Amino acid sequence: MKVPTLKRVAAAITSSAFAVAVVIGGVLVSSADETAAVPASPTDHEWHQADHEWHGQQEALPADHEWH
């Protein structure tokens, strides 16, 4: 029976560690892509609140009878 040399053991450990790192890296990248691909959509409440804020910033227009 052949006893594995230190170089062979080190090469096996290194290649296994590299394979594990590649898999973990791929999982992290794919999960980051999924979360980045779906932008957060504002709720109806947020749209309504933003609409109120926008209207609050507009200057009041003169009444109809003030135009004439």
Residue ranges of domains in the chain: 4-59
pLDDT value, residue 25: 80
Predicted model pTM:
0.35
Mean residue pLDDT across the chain: 72
- 1 or 41, greater pLDDT: 41
pLDDT value, residue 59: 58
Separation CA 47–CA 40 (nearest Å) = 13
The pLDDT-based confidence of 44 (bands split at 50, 70, 90) is: confident
- 25 or 67, greater pLDDT: 25
pLDDT value, residue 65: 60
